[in-house]
Chain A
Amino acid sequence: MAEVKEIIEKKESAFSFGKEEMKLLRDPLNDNNPVTVQILGVCSALAVTTLLTKAIVMGIAVTLVTAFSNLFTSMLREYIPKQIRMIVQLVIIAFLVTVVELALKAFNYPIWKDLSVFIGLIITNCILMGRLEAYAMANKPWRSFLDGIGNGLGYGLILIAVAATRELFGKGSLLDIKIIGPTSEYFLNTNEIWMLSWYTANNLIILSPAAMFIVAILIWIQRSKNRKLIDIS
């Protein structure tokens, strides 16, 4: 009898959601952010942040892939041969990325066209390999799944922050809806009046180097608030 009870308890705890699990979700958003603290997955964070729509789609795609690759790897962790561990992990990731790509191509063709190679580059997003090696290979499936969601969201958060800044000040719009400044000099003679219509969109911000500056500024803000993250070396 006692044994049965223990098993039931164990089964419950497999999907429980307590403080520990909450920490898995919350930590990557700030203290252990994959982009600004662990410097993982920076590449795509810069290329897809010219428009907010692209960044949101990318954030969702990465969250899905991290969550499920963590889940599958964790489920298979005892069966994966150690010698070919890396390639097996890469195949799992590449498989999920292909699934996401095929789905996106079916549901939103223009966005798929826009993101082009950057969907494929999710495979080499270091967040994925990093989480598989550091977490999923040593933990139970449910927790690995949450860890994946947390890290995907942490990445998505930075992506959205950078993209919102770039699109707003570089193009004067958000989600392709005009917010500030005239659309361009050709619109000056129309009657449309926008917020801050004297503002001229800053071309530099839309160019890729500016994404670097924005991430640097985010790091600056985060580290001056959270002093324990400061690099002492």
Chain B
Amino acid sequence: MHSTSYVIKFTLVMTIIVAFVLALMVSGLKDIHGENESVYNKKGILSAVSVQLGKDVNAMSNEEVQTIFSKQIEQKVINTKGEELTPEQIKEETDGRSSTAEQLDMAKEGKKADADKLLPVFVFTASDNKKYNIVYTRGKGLWDEIWGYIALESDLNTVAGQAFDHKGETPGLGAEIKDNKAWYGQFTGKKFYNTSGEFTSISVVKGGVKDKTNQVDAISGATITGIGVDEMLERGIKYYEPYFQKLKSKESIN
């Protein structure tokens, strides 16, 4: 048996050594961690326009992602009334945590009341000078959260590209929303509004698509994830409606 004072000394020395080594490691790796995280998020956004980029986003190097993102993407943060916020306003709304759209903590925004929600918009300019609005939506899958970036054509109706992601869906089932190109590829070309301009959203249906303009086939074996995608599109895209209207009226004035 060791004496109590020895135990205390041992504990103190051990705690100091452990905390010191870890603190050293964390501060040493901080930049790499930050860079990794930002590249990971940017890859998620750029995946929505991978067809327009003509490249596999996941195979890009970190520098490539950073340059494309800074050159071809314009970031905006809007509220649910469709008004664009200045960086100062964003800082104020998020308690100084973020000043750009990519830094928004979307899990937190999702919990806010509708009127206080901030929404990110990424305007992507393709090499042929066409502009695409990338919007964001978040919902619940079977296990945990799922989210998606939807790139819209200039008519703000037709889907030009999409990328879904998830926190913990089952590989081969729910995770197919991210992995299976054939599944998420179905969204391209679908429309959120019908011919008379009403919001119909794009629904995920089981047992065969009936309406080719706004329905996609569900993944077999992943019913709940499919329902989650359906729900988050219907709710999430609606938040952007005022913004779309403002954009459209601006265009008609010009």
Question: What is the interface of chain A, defined by CB distance below 8 A to chain B?
Answer: 50-51, 79-84, 88, 91, 95, 98-99, 102-103, 105-106, 109-110, 113, 116, 167, 170-171, 183-187, 201, 203, 206-207
Contact = CB atoms under 8 A, between A and B. Distances in A.
B171 interface: yes
Contact of B173 (A88, A183, A206): A206
Given A106-B33, A109-B37, A186 B25 contact: no
29 contacts: A50-B170, A80-B10, A81-B2, A83-B7, A84-B10, A88-B14, A95-B18, A95-B21, A99-B21, A102-B22, A102-B26, A102-B33, A103-B29, A106-B32, A106-B33, A106-B36, A110-B40, A170-B171, A171-B172, A183-B182, A184-B182, A184-B219, A185-B220, A186-B180, A186-B183, A186-B186, A187-B182, A203-B172, A206-B173
A102 B220 contact: no
A82 B39 CA distance: 47
Given A109-B40, A185-B220, 20 more contacts: A50-B170, A51-B171, A84-B11, A95-B18, A95-B21, A95-B22, A98-B22, A99-B22, A99-B25, A102-B29, A102-B33, A109-B36, A110-B40, A171-B171, A186-B186, A187-B182, A203-B173, A203-B221, A207-B170, A207-B173
If over half of B's interface residues share one DSSP class (helix, strand or loop), that class is named, otherwise mixed; here it is helix
Interface of B: 1-2, 6-7, 10-11, 14-15, 18, 21-22, 25-26, 29, 32-33, 36-37, 39-40, 167-168, 170-173, 176, 180, 182-183, 186, 217, 219-221
Contact of B14 (A91, A106, A167): A91
Contacts of A105: 29, 33, 36
A83 B171 contact: no
Contacts, number: 82
Given A95-B18, A185-B220, A170 B172 contact: yes
B3 to A, nearest CB: 9
A206 B179 CA distance: 15
Contacts of B180: 183-184, 186
A83 B1 contact: yes
A80 B6 CA distance: 10
A80, A103, A106 pick with most chain B CB within 10 angstroms: A106
Contacts of B22: 95, 98-99, 102
Nearest to A88: B14
A184 B168 CA distance: 20
